[in-house]
Amino acid sequence: MRTLAIIGSGPAGFYTAEAALKAMGDDIRIDIIDRLPTPYGLIRAGVAPDHQSIKAVSRRYDAVAKDPRVCFVGHVTVGKDVSIAELLDLYDDVVLATGAPHDRPLGIPGEELAGVMGSSAFVGWYNGHPDHAALAPPLDAETAVIIGNGNVAIDCARILAKTVQELQDSDIVNHALDPLSRSSIRAIHIMGRRGPHQASFTLKEVGELGELERATPLVRTEDFPPADADSTLETGQRRVVEVLRRYAGQGPDKSRPVTISLDFFLRPLRILGDGRVEAIELMRTRLDDEGRAVDTGETLTLPCGLVVSAIGYRTDPIPDVPFDERLGRFANEDGLIRPGLWCVGWARRGPTGTIGTNRPDGIAMAERIAGTPERHAADQPGDSAENRARKGLDALLTARGIEPTCFSDWQRLDAAEVARARAGAPREKIVTLDEMRALVAGEAQA
Ligand code: NAP
């Protein structure tokens, strides 16, 4: 009997669990531990609320969670409620699938001003993550600036630009939809420090910018290299650039009051304001021979009332786990941190790729674990290994007064969220841990 603790119930955690069940058959017991009482990580709190088809993958994870060999242990923070050393004592293997929940800092003056926030906070706010439910981003200015040229920047811009009707059937939380319905923001700028050829957008996300009810994408023709340079791009990027060139050819649409400007070759220098953001100072850049952004010396200042930095994420360090500060993830070799301790997904490779990228990552991890001898095999054969892990964790948490939640608790929360959804929406999320706890406790008594 092999016992596995997977820390984190997002895509990387669930794909690893699914693959481990396949690879190890009846001889595996898996506990999926999450610091929240709700599973699915990035699917629930990161994927845009108007991308419901991507969120539907959680049904596949449900099947894994309901497998009798799997147990969801919610509301337990590894590194605080239970240490890595304790888990390694209880389980044969511990897999960190904790993602990358923190924003990379911009590292420029003014970053601390009110109205400046990272995309993880902004996305967490409109997605109802308990950590960010109280964010209240300022929406009373005319101009918002989003820094970064990745899909997260586009997600943030699209949510700011959409009408209430366009968001009605998404699972955006009401605490975000209400203020967005009164938003004064009319000019949204997505700032890239390099050019259209170097942008990290994907086709679907760029295409959606051209299909918005009240917003038009704007791109400057002079930001593109000569058209024949596009032939050097790989197919996906070439298609993205084709769409951007089409936007550049269209110009503003007077019938649409909101603009989304894709401003290339601009690097943020500092954020200005007295207590809260009032403007951003930018340096115009150009590409050097290696394709890096270099300063031209020309600066400009753009008045704005909201700045969201969407420049990538970092993993949350855990005590006693070696961390690569430069790359913002656990120090590892192909997923191995030290004997018995592994990492997978963004915690292993950094914040790159789509949800689907985590599937092969999870499969590779499960196969590697299956091919490695059990650490506790000699002293805990058969069923007693399962007791050591699951019952051992229960005993340890009980002794500390910690009450974990299980998958049926989540199913109750899920049903409550579905029951209170506004018309057309799939759910209205519960956004505080207190309300989640009360609901679980109340239902349990009932
Ligand atoms: P990303 O794709 O890595 O993009 C980060 C952007 O930030 C890049 O344009 C980068 O520019 C820029 N940047 C980095 N440091 C900067 C700085 N100091 N100043 C200015 N700009 C800076 O990251 P992401 O958008 O956070 O997305 C993370 C991952 O999730 C990606 O793999 C993304 O595709 C994926 N995702 C997918 C979807 C979807 O499939 N629908 C949705 C959201 C996210 P340089 O290129 O110049 O470094």
pLDDT in tens, 338-373: 999 999 999 999 999 989 999 999 999 999 999 999
- Give residue 411's pLDDT: 96
Are residues 165 and 17 both part of a single domain?
Answer: no
Residue of 145, 151, 205, 355 best suited for mutating to test ligand 1, as the one with most atoms within 8 Å of CB: 151
My answer on whether 136 and 190 are in the same domain is: yes
Please state, rounded to an integer, the average pLDDT across all residues of the chain: 96
Is any atom of ligand 1 closer than 6 Å to the C-beta of 354?
yes
pLDDT for res 444: 53
Q: Considering 287, 309, 331, which residue would you say is the last residue of a domain?
A: 309
Residue 165 Cβ < 6 Å to ligand 1: no
Helix (H) / strand (E) containing 301:
strand 293-303
Predicted confidence (pLDDT) at residue 252 exceeds the cutoff of 50: yes
SS (H, E, C) 24-77: HHHHEEEEEECCCCCCCCHHHHCCCCCCHHHHCCHHHHHHHHCCCCEEEEECCC
Find the angle CA(32)-CA(34)-CA(39) to the nearest 5 degrees: 85
pLDDT digit string (tens) for 427-442?
999 999 999 999 998 8
Q: How remote is the CA of residue 362 from the centroid of ligand 1, in Å?
A: 22
Cβ(195) to ligand 1 under 6 A?
Answer: no
- The answer to whether position 425 is within a domain reads no
Is the distance from CB of 135 to CB of 117 less than 8 angstroms? Answer: yes
Angle in degrees, CA 225, 119, 217, rounded to 5: 40
CA of 151 from ligand 1 middle (Å) equals: 6
**Average pLDDT value for residue range 233-246:** 98
Query: Could you identify the atom of ligand 1 that is nearest to the CA of residue 54?
Result: 41
More confident residue, 156 or 381: 156
Count of domains in the chain?
Answer: 2
CB of residue 198 inside a 6 A radius of ligand 1: yes
Q: Which of 7, 1, 2 is nearest to 337 (CA)?
A: 7
Q: Quick check: CB of 148 below 6 Å from ligand 1?
A: yes
User: Which tens digit of pLDDT belongs to each residue from 173-200?
Assistant: 999 999 999 999 999 999 999 999 999 9
Percent of the chain with pLDDT over 90: 93
CATH number for the domain harbouring residue 16: 3.40.50.720
Of the candidates 91, 38, 74, 107, the residue with the CA atom closest to the CA atom of residue 267: 107
Nearest CA to 407 out of 44, 101, 6, 31 is that of 31
**What local confidence, expressed as pLDDT, does residue 446 receive?**
44
List pLDDT tens digits, range 41-91.
999 999 999 999 999 999 999 999 999 999 999 999 999 999 999 999 999
Is residue 285 within 8 Å of residue 194, measured between CB atoms? yes
Question: Is 7 inside any structural domain?
Answer: yes
281 pLDDT exceeds 50?
yes
Residue 147, pLDDT above cutoff 60: yes
Residue by residue, DSSP assigns 81-121 as: TB-HHHHHHH-SEEEE-----EEPP--STTTTSBTEEEHHH
Q: Distance between terminal CA atoms of the chain? A: 36
Q: Ligand 1 pocket, 152 CB below 6 A? A: yes
SS3 of residue 149 by DSSP: coil
- For residue 82, the enclosing domain spans 2-101+315-405
416 has a pLDDT exceeding 50: yes
Residue 191 alpha carbon to ligand 1 centre in Å: 11
* Domain shared by 264 and 146, yes or no: yes
417 falls within a domain: no
Q: Are residues 334 and 289 in the same domain?
A: no
Asked whether the predicted pLDDT for residue 383 surpasses 90, the reply is no
- Indicate whether residue 263 lines ligand 1 (CB < 6 A): no
Q: Tell me whether residue 223 is in a domain.
A: yes
User: What is the predicted pLDDT for the residue at 376?
Assistant: 83
Structure tokens at 181: 């319905």
Statement to judge: residues 83 and 113 lie in one domain:
no
Q: Which amino acid is at 207?
A: G
- Give the sign of the dihedral formed by CA 160, CA 163, CA 168, CA 173: positive
Mean pLDDT of 271-290: 97
pLDDT score at 385: 82
Torsion angles phi and psi, residue 80, rounded to 5: -125, -60
Tell me, in angstroms, the distance from the centre of ligand 1 to residue 197's CA: 14
Q: Is residue 424 a part of any domain in this protein? A: no
Q: Which atom of ligand 1 is nearest to the CA of 292?
A: 47
My answer on whether 177 and 296 are in the same domain is: yes
In sequence order, which residues have a C-beta less than 8 Å from that of residue 222 and are 6 or more positions away? none
Q: Which atom of ligand 1 sits closest to the CA of residue 152?
A: 25
Q: State whether the beta carbon of 151 lies less than 6 angstroms from ligand 1.
A: yes
pLDDT the model gives residue 251: 81
Same domain, 91 and 141: no
Q: Which atom of ligand 1 is nearest to the CA of 107?
A: 18
Kindly state whether residues 185 and 57 are assigned to the same domain: no
420 phi-psi bin (left φ>0, alpha ψ -120 to 50, beta other): alpha
Ligand 1 atom nearest to 353, measured from its CA: 32
Q: What is the Å distance from ligand 1's center to 361 Cα?
A: 20
What is the model's pLDDT at position 261?
98
284, 309, 334 - which closes a domain: 309
Look at ligand 1, atom 16, and give the residue with the nearest C-alpha: 311
Given a contact cutoff of 8 angstroms between Cβ atoms, the answer to whether 357 and 350 are in contact is no
Q: What is the CATH number of the domain that holds 168?
A: 3.50.50.60
| Mean pLDDT score, 256-270 | 98
Q: What is the pLDDT of residues 294-322, one digit of tens each?
A: 999 999 999 999 999 999 999 999 999 99
Residue 35 has a pLDDT of 97
Cβ(312) – ligand 1 distance below 6 Å: yes
- What is the pLDDT at residue 443? 59
User: What is the C-alpha to C-alpha distance for residues 190 and 304, in angstroms, rounded to an integer?
Assistant: 12
Q: Does 155 contact ligand 1 (Cβ within 6 A)?
A: yes
Instruction: Determine the average pLDDT of the residues in 131-157.
Output: 98
Taking the centre of ligand 1 as the mean of its atom positions, its distance from the CA of residue 147, in whole angstroms, is 9
430: CA distance to ligand 1 center in Å? 29
The pTM is what?
A: 0.96
In a domain, 419, yes or no: no
